[in-house]
Amino acid sequence: MSKLFPCIALKHAWADEVFGYNTGTRTLQNGKVMDEHLPKDYSDEAYRMAKDILGIELEGPNATYARSAAGTNYVYTDYPPHDIVTIAGQQALFIESRLHTEDIPEGLYHYHVHSSSPALPFGAVSRSGSGDILGTVITKAPIGMSITDILAFTEKKDALFFTAAQATLKEYMNADFQEKALEKPIIPGKTNHKTKSKPTSQGR
């Protein structure tokens, strides 16, 4: 197209659907590349460029991405929905995978829920996440733990209860959920039964 209008400089900007990946700008005139800028993938500059090109909001209640707790990347928060649980007196999200600081939004906390092992009781929660786990619990406030950084559910009030509701990370960060917990918590020697409701958000 630039050859059809040789006197006009055409600037092309692009961004991949994977936020922060494959972004760039290129200026062409008369079929020739006059200028090109390709920021490093997942750099702050790449995120800024992708934000402007894709019209993504990074702040406020409508934001669909959040800076990770690791501070090195952004986390998509609007999909999928996760189970809402209660643990140690607060509402949390339970995700059936092993998450790390780069996988959760800044300002939240994460703990790993363990399966049975010689070293840890079934359903124990720890910060380290070593060994076999059932999933990850994400909370808004830190969970008080002993010097061993392990919380075993010896007290019913601390146990991990599943509710009948779900929420995305975005919904969890922007709202409080007053859901009644199911009767069966995860406690040593027991298993839980989860009841899932329809997703509260379809995401993209």
What is the arithmetic mean of pLDDT over 44-49?
A: 95
pLDDT tens-digit series, residues 75-87 = 999 999 999 998 8
Residues 114 and 51 in one domain: no
Instruction: Check residue 157 and give its pLDDT.
Output: 62
97/100 Cα distance (integer angstroms): 10
192/183 Cα distance (integer angstroms): 9
H-state helical runs in the chain: 44-54, 169-174
Residues 48 and 137 in one domain: no
79/100 Cα distance (integer angstroms): 18
Q: Whole domain around residue 162: which residue ranges?
A: 80-186
pTM: 0.75
pLDDT tens-digit series, residues 29-43 = 998 999 999 999 999
Q: Number of folded domains in the chain? A: 2
> Looking at the predicted structure, is the pLDDT value of residue 131 above 90?
no
120/189 Cα distance (integer angstroms): 12
5/9 Cα distance (integer angstroms): 8
Q: Is residue 204 part of a domain?
A: no
Instruction: Check residue 172 and give its pLDDT.
Output: 93
Residue 60 DSSP class: S
Q: Is residue 85 part of a domain?
A: yes
The three-class DSSP label of residue 186 is strand
Q: Is residue 1 part of a domain?
A: no
Instruction: Check residue 183 and give its pLDDT.
Output: 45
Instruction: Check residue 37 and give its pLDDT.
Output: 96
Residues 45 and 87 in one domain: no
Instruction: Check residue 146 and give its pLDDT.
Output: 63
pLDDT tens-digit series, residues 140-190 = 999 877 656 777 766 666 678 888 889 999 999 988 655 444 444 444 434
13/49 Cα distance (integer angstroms): 9
More confident residue, 182 or 136: 136
pLDDT tens-digit series, residues 107-130 = 999 999 888 666 666 678 888 767
